[in-house]
Structure 1
Amino acid sequence: MFRASVSRRVLSPACSGRITSDVAIASTSCAATLAPLSASPNALRSLHSSSTVHESQRKRDSRLKKQYRQNLRSELQRQAEANKPHPALGYSPGNEHIWKNSLLYSVLVKESDLDNLPIPTATIEMEDEVVVPTHTDFLSGIQSDTPEPQKTGRVLPKLDSQKRPIVGDFELPQLMNFGIGETERKFLFDELPKVRVEGKLFAQSSSPGSFLPSRNSMNAEQIMQEEKSMQYWLGRILDLKNANAQGRAYENRQRIVAAFSYSGAMTDTGCAEVQAAILTERIHNLWNHIAVSRRDIHNRKNLMELIQARAKILRYLRRAQRARYEDLLPKIGVERGAVEGEIILTLQMFRDAFVPLTQ
């Protein structure tokens, strides 16, 4: 009964007209109220930024402190990245003396050192050029008398029986290739020539006329001259200045093994010190090559593999024997930051290291 009366009151025409008019008045008043807000953007902006404009002094100080700490953290991180040791070179910018004063740097044979070495000199015996008239000259009537040697006025090197210039006084190279040390040097240039001269003289002693003293002395002098010439030309062949990159790398490896072998053994090639030193030498050579050859992008991966291999060996040595690890780092010119932690070799490092070739 109540629901019917309510429905009848709502659906009555009088009530419906009154409700419609009330809704229209309410909507008009709301529009009039919101119109100034929508029409004035300053009011909306003030409402939007009210949290910043009307923040308290305590919140403002807290926000500024947080911003300062973030900026300080970013600056410290930037400085740490700038002063971080180079993953390839092993030292931070400005600390080149760590590499220059290391044992590895002093042991290696560098290309600049080979360029500064003097070229071994020798005194070549000279003689006047002599021309002997041939049978054709007699037939053509140019030479009618007995053929006699004639000097042309030119001076040429005096040749031995092997058509090689006869060398007088000479100098041997300071550094030799193929791993020739002092023992091999003494054998090749002191002992072996004497044995060869004695062998040749003994072989010629059975020839006719060998009993004549003058002939024996002449043969001995000629053989000694030939052996001296052979010593000089052998020294030029064995000179490290004439070696290629593989020859210099072999010499450097031999020196590294002798200098970094552990427990006094001269041929301990498997110890961590020798392996780390050899990898460091290869890393420096490859980095210098990439710094000049900008378009050689394929060796960048090889360089990163060498860096990771060196870091792996050094981390093993630090875990196994910390004292040996601490003692090895200054010897190979590497700082801790270059092998500890995350190793990142960025593209910007290659761009900064590029050195254009001078024309």
Structure 2
Amino acid sequence: MFARCTKHFSTVKVSFSTSVLERTFHSTFPTLKRIPREIKKKNLAKKLAILEEEKENRPDPIAGVPTEFTRSLLRPSDVYKTATDLTLPQYNNYLIDESDAEIVFKKLPEKMCENSEPNEVKDKQLEYESEKVKILKSMVGLHNANSQSIMKHNIRKAIEEFARFPNDTGSAEVQAAIWTVRILNLHEHLQKNHKDKHNYRNLRTLVHKRQGMLKYLKRESLERYYNCLKKLGLDNKIIEGEIVI
């Protein structure tokens, strides 16, 4: 009986000692254990560097990248220069387009002087009509308007640029373009007036409205969606991701 017990305890002792030795002994060299950890650290650092680079190169979620459309929009500072510098392009208020200006400022004065005789009277009449045209041009010039009128001029340009059919004011592209005009107007205002908290809230509201409209457009048509983004200077990651203002 005693012999059996001693034999049993001796086997347990041997097995325990061998398991301890197996745990302490490893075929991998200690320095080789660090290599996977170092590789993991390098990969994480590389991913963070790529994310930072993408973040730096990502367009502004508010203004985006300047495009042909956004550069064509009128700024109040540029419009007010036309009052003193007549060499700059002149713009008309009250939604007077080029065809209306052609009729009012050129054809109508000539029509008024058609029946004037003799030539001396006609020359005086033309001079008189040209003076009236100068006064009228000054009165309806956009440089005499406020910033809201300039924004309305830009909204009309956005509708003309993005409309899918005549008199289209409700399609997703047109709505996104109109909100972009308002966003750029508020963004420029807030750069000069940092304490205008009320308009900060309005800016955030407009940006998120535009984001929701463009997400809807993406569900409707990918082709229209990417064409709209290209014209507005926006990026798909901005629309799909979280916007922080």
| TM-score grouping bracket, smaller chain normalisation | 0.7 to 0.9
Q: How does 1:175-190 map to 2 (within 5 A)?
A: 175-190=91-106
C-alpha distance in structure 2 between counterparts of 1:181 and 1:63, whole Å: 68
Question: What residue number does 2:196 align with?
Answer: 296
User: 1:64 is paired with a residue of what secondary structure?
Assistant: helix
C-alpha distance in structure 2 between counterparts of 1:73 and 1:222, whole Å: 78
C-alpha distance in structure 2 between counterparts of 1:76 and 1:317, whole Å: 30
5+ residue gaps in structure 2? 1-28
Structure 2 CA distance for partners of 1:118 and 1:301, relative to 1, 3 Å: closer
Please report the RMSD computed on the Cα atoms of aligned residues, expressed in angstroms.
3.3
1:104 to 69, 75, 83: 69
Question: What residue number does 1:72 align with?
Answer: 46
- 1:276 and 2:173 are equivalent in the alignment: no
Structure 2 CA distance for partners of 1:194 and 1:82, relative to 1, 3 Å: closer
Structure 2 CA distance for partners of 1:63 and 1:276, relative to 1, 3 Å: same
Residue 222 of structure 1 deviates from its aligned partner by 6.6
C-alpha distance in structure 1 between counterparts of 2:127 and 2:93, whole Å: 25
C-alpha distance in structure 2 between counterparts of 1:261 and 1:244, whole Å: 26
Question: What residue number does 2:3 align with?
Answer: none
Whether the 8 Å contact between 1:283 and 1:303 is mirrored in structure 2 is yes
Question: Match for 2:98: what amino acid?
Answer: E
Whether the 8 Å contact between 1:90 and 1:338 is mirrored in structure 2 is no
Whether the 8 Å contact between 2:113 and 2:125 is mirrored in structure 1 is yes
Deviations 1:67-94 (A, max 9, x none): 3344334333333333333211224xxx
Deviations 1:165-208 (A, max 9, x none): xxxxxx9x832111112332233234544666799x9xxxxxxx
Q: How does 1:52-63 map to 2 (within 5 A)?
A: 56-63=30-37
Return the structure number with greater helix share: 2
User: 1:339 is paired with a residue of what secondary structure?
Assistant: helix
Residue 294 of structure 1 deviates from its aligned partner by 1.9
Structure 2 CA distance for partners of 1:61 and 1:274, relative to 1, 3 Å: same
Quick one: higher RCO (CA 8 Å, sep 6+), 1 or 2?
2
Deviations 1:141-182 (A, max 9, x none): xxxxxxxxxxxxxxxxxxxxxxxxxxxxxx9x8321111123
User: 1:231 is paired with a residue of what secondary structure?
Assistant: helix
TM-score normalized by structure 2? 0.72
Question: What residue number does 1:6 align with?
Answer: none
Larger radius of gyration: 1
Residue correspondences, number? 215
Structure 2 CA distance for partners of 1:70 and 1:193, relative to 1, 3 Å: closer
TM-score normalized by structure 1? 0.51
Question: Match for 1:71: what amino acid?
Answer: A
Question: Match for 1:276: what amino acid?
Answer: A
- 1:244 and 2:146 are equivalent in the alignment: yes
Structure 2 CA distance for partners of 1:66 and 1:195, relative to 1, 3 Å: closer
Deviations 1:295-316 (A, max 9, x none): 2233222111111111111111
5+ residue gaps in structure 1? 1-54, 92-98, 122-170, 202-212, 346-359
Whether the 8 Å contact between 2:183 and 2:203 is mirrored in structure 1 is yes
Residue 262 of structure 1 deviates from its aligned partner by 0.7
C-alpha distance in structure 2 between counterparts of 1:85 and 1:225, whole Å: 54
Whether the 8 Å contact between 2:76 and 2:147 is mirrored in structure 1 is no
Return the structure number with greater strand share: 1
Q: Percent identity?
A: 30
Question: Match for 1:288: what amino acid?
Answer: E
